[in-house]
Chains A and B, each alone.
Chain A
């Protein structure tokens, strides 16, 4: 897209170099984590760190034997998809309204939940949900996690909505479209990349959040992230199993990100709408 005439080749080389550099820095620790999951526990902390070793799947096998991994994963999936959906459902219209009216307080209000330390909510929510007998229900978990996803959706979409020129809306208004119609038919397609980004972020935040699940879930609805902690403890620190659990836990968000990539790269631009 960006082609300066004479220095084209150099720029491309520079970009490649930067890409490789960034890739190395970013991915090396992650690669270390995955490699460690294939080592027996005592070798993970061996020094000098071993690059060449005989990989073993024993950590993964032990994992599935000691933890009901699949059921936890399912719980996490239900809670995360639910809270992401709720966040999008409430957040998209709210972001649109805030952008249109330029009145920020609703957006700041939703962010308020993220301004307080998560621990502030633990006791009151436990008391609250216990009163209505909802401890251990998926609903309680989805609602509490939606408190996290909602502000992310709103704030990521705000600049996307802000970037749409007012003229587009005004044209639609002259045509007699209602605000909701404008949102649904016109604005939404234009912020596809924003929705993609906010979905990924909402999913990841909800998926990795353990604090609320700590008090609001019970044995049946326990989420996956809680199990990651099980491998860190006196007398039972299992590095290999921890890395294996971590690799598995990081997979669904990664898969989602890979799937949603399309909307990040393409995304309808305004040029297509004009004229």
Chain B
């Protein structure tokens, strides 16, 4: 925690001062500059946006602007967004985006407004753009353009039952091999519980699989070609699918967060590898509050390279009022607002907020929250945002990763065959211009 304290107490304030004196804008920052204007926000109705929007009135009061919100479930929001953008419509000013998934795609299509200039010059002094997670900012930068400002931090983490581990004489797993060993032991010692559960649904696999691949030291692309058939790639495919096939629940090929959380929450799984966002769902009803521990996914040969992503707020390049839209983005991702959101359980993409005493009080209320935040701290410092292939066709690449894993879970192909088929398709994808 020392490095963190250093950052919070010394480095950041220094940076802030430097930034402040360096650019001389804060003193004359006028929140009411765009008074009377209306900004339209297309939101994904997830807890992040829900938390943000509880303070909608604050924004309207502070800036005198009106905020029109259109909220939809994630897939629907994406559908609407794609339709609006394809029509080059100015209907949406600000929208939520997931850079790890569609960032490159949307950036290539020219749908994002470039925020780099505004993030430097048009900010209130409290905004502290440097205080945002550098990893997430980097993940939101494409071709030198900053395309969105991070709203939260999330990633897959490892949930496990301390009581079951104790019963079966197991310690906290420190490596992937230990996870598998634990699964074997649990299978023998407690037959009523599923030893391990994680994502098997084809489009959803990449999220958790990427973490394992990176921990083992593999990479998706090497030398411009798809790299799943490398030794490390094959190892990752093998272990991930084996864990699910031999130690996972029946029907795991359809499993995504809904079933995983339901299974773990109901006490039917000993280890679960799923998004940090699912904490609230898993703790619903309180049954798992006292017997769950959370850590980033155990290390492989390359250590721990957890997957870390975050939703971002972007301004549409077709918006007729990007400056006013920027004010909303700025307000929404400012330290003050993100702290309020943090108190509602939204992990902040700002280390400064993560160490804020009020937030820490909330965290310290429950041991699981402490562990959750500790895991997220690791994600924030060591994480990689690579979920699927770092190409424009990222969503499509996830299909082939998922296909390979499913082939192995269903024993339809050997590891060599599965990775070869995937590589062939992915090479074609990489080559697409």
Instruction: Give chain B's interface residue range (CB within 8 Å of chain A).
Output: 35 or more
Report the minimal beta-carbon distance from B56 to chain A, rounded to whole angstroms: 12
The contact of B74 among A41, A123, A130, A234, by CB within 8 Å, is A234
Residues on A with C-beta less than 8 A from B277 are 234-235
Q: Is B91 an interface residue (CB 8 A)?
A: yes
Contact with B along A22-50 (1 / 0, CB 8 A): 00000000000000000011110111000
The contact of A47 among B68, B76, B79, B268, by CB within 8 Å, is B268
Contacting A at CB under 8 A, from B277-302, are 277-281, 284-285, 287
Asked, given contacts A235-B47, A236-B50, whether A45 binds B74 with beta carbons under 8 Å apart, the answer is no
The contact of A234 among B69, B76, B87, B257, by CB within 8 Å, is B257
Report the minimal beta-carbon distance from B247 to chain A, rounded to whole angstroms: 19
Inter-chain CA distance A218–B91, complex, in Å, is 10
Is there an interface contact between B45 and A215, defined as CB atoms closer than 8 Å? no
Asked, given contacts A41-B284, A45-B266, A236-B46, whether A215 binds B83 with beta carbons under 8 Å apart, the answer is yes
Residues on A with C-beta less than 8 A from B381 are none
Is there an interface contact between B287 and A235, defined as CB atoms closer than 8 Å? no
Task: Give the A interface residue count (CB, 8 A).
Answer: 29
Contact count A vs B, C-beta below 8 Å:
89
Is there an interface contact between B83 and A122, defined as CB atoms closer than 8 Å? yes
Inter-chain CA distance A45–B86, complex, in Å, is 39
The contact of B89 among A41, A46, A130, A233, by CB within 8 Å, is A130
Is there an interface contact between A233 and B74, defined as CB atoms closer than 8 Å? yes
Residues on B with C-beta less than 8 A from A210 are 76
Contact with A along B72-107 (1 / 0, CB 8 A): 111110011001101101010000000000000000
Jot down 23 A-B pairs with beta carbons below 8 A, ordered by A: A41-B284, A45-B265, A46-B266, A47-B268, A122-B83, A123-B83, A123-B87, A126-B83, A127-B87, A130-B89, A214-B80, A214-B83, A215-B79, A215-B80, A219-B70, A226-B72, A229-B73, A233-B44, A235-B47, A235-B257, A235-B277, A236-B50, A236-B280
A40-B284, A233-B45 known; 10 new pairs, CB 8 Å cut-off, are A127-B87, A130-B89, A130-B91, A214-B83, A222-B70, A233-B44, A234-B46, A236-B281, A237-B257, A237-B261
Instruction: Give the interface of B toward A (CB within 8 A).
Output: 44-47, 50, 68-76, 79-80, 83-84, 86-87, 89, 91, 257-258, 261-262, 265-266, 268, 275, 277-281, 284-285, 287
